[in-house]
Amino acid sequence: MNSFKPTTRTKLKRMVERGEYDRGMVYRILDEGFVCHVGLIIDGQPYVIPTGYGRAGDSLYIHGSAASRLLRSMAGGIPVCVTVTLVDGLVLARSAFHHSINYRSVVIFGTATIVADFREKMMALQTFTEHIIPGRWAEVREPNEQELKATTVLVLALEEVSAKIRSGPPKDDPEDQELPVWAGELPLRVEAKEPVNDPNLRPGITPPFYTLNYSRKEK
């Protein structure tokens, strides 16, 4: 299927024109983001925890310390809500009321399961690394047995998913459009600066090609 089927939880109730269910668009947003926020309830207490993630096909992987209460709770099969948001720009209107933000966001509902299979776990760890910076996994030392034991990996099937997108100029009321106030968009982006060498770097090792002109945007 090329699109996610809206559910009672993912179907937008307000500003329905901003809703997006196209699988390709959803995955582009997930692949551009760095951090997701995991919402869940543990012993009656709501938590929203930021963490890294990686996507492989129709699966979202989350990892962390084997001692993590968050991961242990998620592995127990409790419902979770995972969100990713990209801020594309500030929208400055002529009135304070109509100021806004251009953004792309994804909301995922489901339950996560622990990844026990060795090959899938290694694939997920490779996915995390490549999600941050493509090309890195091939150069670094892979996790050893002790590191694997200390790391929990969870997988969340991408089934109940939707995106919400706001783009374009401000939407001022007609009577405000003649006000002598600048209005428009202030685009924002994640921009990498020059790589900084580790002080303990051996002489003669230069920054790899994938750290130069680094961008989160799809090539």
DSSP 135-181: T-TTTSPPP-HHHHHTEEEEEEE--EEEEEEE-SS----GGGTTSSS
Coil, strand or helix: which one is 201?
coil
The Cα 49–Cα 82 span in angstroms is 9
In a domain, 1, yes or no: no
In a domain, 136, yes or no: yes
The helix or strand, by DSSP H or E, that contains position 57, with its residue range, turns out to be: none
One-letter amino acid at 159 equals E
- The answer to whether 81 and 119 are in contact (CB under 8 A) is no
**Residue 202: inside a domain:** no
pTM of the model: 0.92
Please give the residue range of the domain that contains residue 123.
16-172+181-191
**CA proximity to 89, closest of 75, 79, 104, 74:** 104
The number of distinct structural domains making up the chain is 1
What is the structure's pLDDT at 218?
A: 66
Identify whether 149 is part of a domain: yes
Cα–Cα distance, 198 to 187 (Å, whole number): 32
Cα separation, 29 vs 132, in Å, equals 14
pLDDT in tens, 62-94: 999 988 888 888 888 899 999 999 999 999 999
CA distance 167 to 101: 8
Residue 160 predicted with pLDDT over 90: yes
Task: Identify whether 22 is part of a domain.
Answer: yes
Q: Answer whether residue 209 is part of any domain.
A: no
Q: Give the CATH number of the domain where residue 80 resides.
A: 2.30.110.10
Q: What is the pLDDT of residues 1-46, one digit of tens each?
A: 699 998 999 988 887 888 889 999 999 999 999 999 999 999 899 9
> How far apart are alpha carbons 100 and 199 in whole angstroms?
43
Structure tokens at 53: 């993630």
> Can you tell me the distance from the alpha carbon of 135 to that of 160, in angstroms, rounded to the nearest whole number?
31
Convert the pLDDT of each residue in 88-135 to its tens digit.
999 999 999 999 999 999 999 999 999 999 999 999 999 999 999 999
Cα–Cα distance, 33 to 44 (Å, whole number): 30
Question: If you count DSSP H runs as helices and E runs as strands, how many of each does the chain have, helices first?
Answer: 4, 11
CB 186, CB 2: distance < 8 Å? no
